[in-house]
Structure 1
Amino acid sequence: MPLIVISGYPTSGKTHRAQQLVQFFTSKINSSPDPRVKQIIVHHINDQTLGLSHDVYKEAKLEKEARATEYSAVKRFLGQNAIVIADGLNYIKGFRYQLYCDAKSARTTSCVVHVGTPIETCRQNNDGLLAKGESAGYPSEIFENLVFRYEEPNGMNRWDSPLFTVALDDETPPFERIWDAVVGSDGQVKKVKPNVATVTTSATESDYLYELDKATQDILNLILDWQKNHPGEGGAEIRVGDEMVTISPNVATLPQLQRIRRQFISLNRQNKTPKTRISTLFADYVSHNLG
């Protein structure tokens, strides 16, 4: 069922906007004459519902585990008769891409709601919360670090589209437009045709994991060799099988590439991407996470 990803700076009002959406969707569902719509349940997932504190952002390992917890919760409800509102920071575009792929795999719609509160307003909000001793506030060092690393959604990217930006002075998000995007104006929940990158197929070939490991390592070697031979140059296209794949203009270090490779293998260990497509899809995945 539909996935709505909330994204914004810390203390930008994401949870307030998410709660507005929960109230609207719940009212819309309850008032619908369609019995199929009435069966939909709205799930609101954030740090509070998952029992996570802001301390998880002090260390990269803890933050990674927190994202994994959010990811697992979202994935658990996606296949059910529900609208899932992922109300986390969701500030890393690679993570939003991961959620987008899971929505596609579940053959459901998704969108991103960007809470566009200015940084200075967020900083004032955070300072106010800290002064009151409220747990919703972020320690100043963590707040500044998260703001610095924030990767703003871009509606030109398919994983950030459709994108709805809610300005500070907007009383509410564009409820009806979001409903139409993920459910449909006629109230009939939309179905999405998955692409090759997200289709799950049966595990019939015993050497699949070997091919997954080998193909992804070969792509890393191609990227590292290209960077070595073209120092200081931007992105380029490299040939992968019969296709040309664009690699990121940003220089990637070996640890970065290895981390992305582990993520891709983890995502595709069970999905059984066709072996002939592993290299191309992984090159595309690397580009999305580095671009």
Structure 2
Amino acid sequence: MLTNCHTLILRRLLGHGETPPLAEHDLYVYNVTPDSLPLSQEFRARETHVFAPPAGTLARYPKLLWVKCHIVVDNFCHYGTPAKTGQGLDPARKGGYTYRRGSDLVALVGDFAREMDREIGPAEAHYLAHVLVEIAVDYRIYQDDRSVALVLSGARAEMTEAQRREYVEGVSLLYGCEPAKVERSQGAPSRFYGNLYGVDSLFLGGRTKIVLRKLRLPFSEGNIGRTRGLILDAAEKVGDYPEFVGGTVDMLADRGAWAGEGSLAAEEQ
């Protein structure tokens, strides 16, 4: 899932209101780390969607738990289980919300790809359809509750210098890299989305870049406009997303089932 969905789930799990306490704002930044770092040129998604910390890391940097939470949620939305199930599983056999709902959008994605002069097979169409579901859910959340997006933007802006140092140190240890690499990746979302990076433009115009990048199409005004239409069509199909969010929060409430240093990987992005 994408930032609004992860943020909404975490906010409910932690029992926070519209504005989380300042002391816990940074938890939301940790929570989107697997998706935000790859928007830079420093990390690949397959690196960040693995949680395998060296022994003792979680005890030293307990907020890294919320990075793992992200991976658990991704697995749940893809497979319907907290852990990844099966290597190379056909998209049609994945039981999570995004692939089940994505099956309704495969034809829509196929038609869009042909209009854009891109030929894709059934498996790739289903994969792209699940991505479209994630984008559409984030857009619907933005429409339904704008405060969700403001949580993450506020968290990024209001982290203290001490919290930033702790974040860089912990994340670099988790991913086995130099702290400078994490430092260089800060601000990657705003650089990737450019002038579409803003609460009122990101979740429709900005997210077109995800679809266009996966189809290897240029970020032209015409392509962005066509992809906006695709997202709006998909948004009509995900009105049941609150059920997924509620089920995910219920699953995460049993922290004994997923928290801890045990390693975990998500689907390759």
Whether the TM-score (by the shorter chain) exceeds 0.5 is no
Larger RCO: 1 or 2 (CA < 8 Å, sep 6+)? 2
Rg (Cα) greater in structure: 1
User: If each structure's helix is expressed as a fraction of its own residues, which one has the higher value?
Assistant: 2
The TM-score with structure 1 as length reference comes to 0.28
